[in-house]
Structure 1
Amino acid sequence: MLNPQWLKSFAMLADVGSFTQSADRLGITQAGVSQHIRHLEQQLGPLILRSKRPLELTPAGRALLEYCQQVDRAQRHLALRLSDGDSTCGEVSLISPGSIGLRLYPLLLSLQQQHPDLLIRHRFAPDSEVIDAVLHNRYEMGLVTQKPDDKRLVAEQFAEEPLELVVPATATVSSWQDLEALGYIDHPDGQAMATRLLSRRFPGNPGVRNLPQRGFSNQIGLILEPVARGLGFTVIPKYARLAFARPQQIKVVCNEVLLVDTLWMIHRAEWPLSTRAQRALTWLQQQL
């Protein structure tokens, strides 16, 4: 590993182009700067053309300067991740299912606009991946639809999200036959969601698997696209429907008995959430 002080001297020299000025800015002697550069060149080969004024970097020197810049960015990124004294500075990392994620990510970006020193990192994932990512510290916070029983995790109720039967804006649905005429737009969680909701809306129905399937999408933001075009109906969580860009082209078939899922916020039990994560959670709950 290259000595950090040597790299600091080289980066300063590449910036100002003078051994004397580099030494003055670093608070060391000119001989010290020369010695640092000499040590680097013993390992990496010629880095600067000393006959040029101002100094000119060799190809190896340009590669080393790029490495110095990468090291500097990494150090600043590490400082952001470790800093916890300021709730408006540092990384906020959240992993969640797609539906609630569609709602939360724009809200987190609004928070970042207010506090540009925040760094928002968000990922869509199913429950199993969310739990694994939080347990292995890849994300500080996660949202799941089923409360985990792992003692390494703290799970707190975060929000409630109804499932909705969504049809084209021009459709009229009052019977199972109306659904058969429309056809079903499926998605990865669609069979389970539709079975749960439609069993309440149409008791004794033949089952969603017996409906004509008109399409499938594994992208949460695109599931309602064929519905809006009149190609079928689907069952999705409310926040996915709210995020759709053309709400006038779809409508929700109201159900007398709501089917509501609880969303659980999880994090590691061994240590508290960072102050910036707590601030982000408070912001999200206020907006929701």
Structure 2
Amino acid sequence: MLNPQWLRTFAVVADTGNFTRSAERLGLTQAAVSQHIAQLEQQLGPILIRRPRNMELTPAGHALLVYCAELQQADHRLQQRLSRGERHKGDISLITPGSSGLFLYPLLLDLQQKHPEITIKHRFAPNPDIIQQVLDNSFEMGLVSVTPDDTRLTATQFTEEPLELVVPASADISDWNDLRALGFIDHPDGLNMATRLLSRAYPGAGTVKELPVRGFINQVGLILEPVARGLGFTVIPRYARKAFANSRAIKVVALEHKVMDVLWLIHRAEWPLSARAQFALDYLTQKITALEHAEDHTEGDSDSRFLNN
């Protein structure tokens, strides 16, 4: 096994490109730095090409630098696992669909601001990728809209997210013909979501495939941009709508029948969530519950067919 101190010295030399600056950063003499590099080259062959004004890594040097990075990541993962009992310190890793991620990520950043020793690691991905990333231990937690059948995962209901019919703020929607006149803004799951919601809201009126398509966008954060510009309507999950900044330019058609998607929290079944992950979940649950109550109150007080964000 290669000496960890030699590897540390090599990584710093590769970063600074200079033995003198490396010695200053490491608190060593220049002779000690040279000795560490010489020891590595005795085992691995040439790893540095020295020139008067700079130095260059050999192929072996590049491979060794990758190895150093992998060791650093492994050490970080070990420290994270050993500190699983820390509630307010360490990584909180969550992978989610785009809609829920747009809504939850700012809440997680709020949590990090309150507890600066927490680091938020968040990624957007489709359901299959989320499941695989959690299985691979790349993320401790994930949210999916389907119940996984892999016995290596534990799945619990996290929240429900309704689908919403979103139209321009200036639109007057009273029936199917108004939707037809406005036109549909499609997205990767748009046909599925619109069919599920509109078939219940307007039974027998027509099919989504018959509606004119006024646009398509595959970025969840931009789906409502053409709607806000009056170019059409769309159907999206509530969290995506709530994350849209230009809320005054859109409105939600209040429908009698709701279609709800369940979001399932998944993690590896072999071990419990870390204390900081559970702390984050408790925080998110509290925030979501408060927002849902506020939303329900708004719906209960509204006599209009439309709701604002």
Q: For each residue in 1:81-134, what CA deviation from the matched residue of structure 2 results, as whole angstroms up to 9, or x when unmatched?
A: 333232222222111111111001111111122222322221112222212222
Which residue does the alignment assign to 1:81?
80
Q: Deviations for 1:227-246, whole angstroms, at most 9, x for unmatched residues?
A: 00000000011010000111
Report the Cα offset of residue 8 of structure 1. 5.0
| Aligned AA (2:286) | Q
Partner residue, 2:273: 273
Matched position secondary structure for 1:221: helix
Amino acid at match of 2:184: Y
Q: Which deviates more from structure 2 when the two are superposed, residues 204-213 or residues 137-146?
A: 137-146
Report what 1:102 is aligned to: 102
Residues 164-183 of structure 1: pairs in structure 2 closer than 5 A:
164-183=164-183
Identity level (%): 56
Superposition map of 1:74-153 within 5 A: 74=73, 77-82=76-81, 83-153=83-153
User: CA deviation digits over 1:142-177, x for unaligned, max 9?
Assistant: 111122232221111111111100000011111110
Cα distance change, pair 175–132 in 1 and its aligned pair in 2 (3 A): same
Residues 103 and 169 from structure 1, CA distance in 2 versus in 1: closer, same or farther, beyond 3 angstroms? same
Deviation at 1:196, TM superposition (A): 0.9
Letter in 2 for 1:78: R
The residue number in structure 1 matching 2:55 is 59
Check the 8 A contact 2:23/2:33 in 1, yes or no.
no
Call closer, same or farther: CA 1:286–1:3 in 2, change over 3 Å.
Answer: same
- Structure 1 residue 22 and structure 2 residue 28: aligned? yes
Aligned to 2:211: 211
- Structure number with larger C-alpha Rg: 1
Inter-partner Cα distance in structure 2 for 1:213 and 1:35: 69
Which shifted more, 116-125 or 38-47? 38-47
Distance 1:44 1:231, change over 3 A: same
Q: Give the aligned partner of residue 229 of structure 1.
A: 229
- Aligned partner of 1:243: which letter? A
User: Are 1:254 and 2:254 counterparts?
Assistant: yes
Determine the C-alpha separation between the residues in 2 that align with 1:188 and 1:114. 36
Aligned partners of 2:7 and 2:68 also within 8 Å: no
Residue 44 of structure 1, CA deviation = 3.7
Segment drifting more, 105-114 vs 171-180: 105-114
Figure out how many residues of one structure are paired with residues of the other and give that number: 273
Given that 2:227 and 2:233 are in contact with CA atoms closer than 8 Å, whether structure 1 keeps it comes out as yes
Q: Distance in 2 between matches of 1:176 and 1:16?
A: 71
Gaps of 5+ in 2: 14-18, 289-309
TM-score, length of structure 1 as denominator length: 0.82
Matched residue type, 2:157: Q
Deviates further, 266-275 or 123-132: 123-132
| 8 Å contact kept, 1:135–1:268 | yes
The TM-score, its normalising length taken from structure 2, stands at: 0.76
Contact 2:22-2:33 at 8 Å conserved across structures: no
- Which residues of structure 1 form unaligned runs of 5+? 24-29, 50-55
Distance 1:38 1:249, change over 3 A: closer
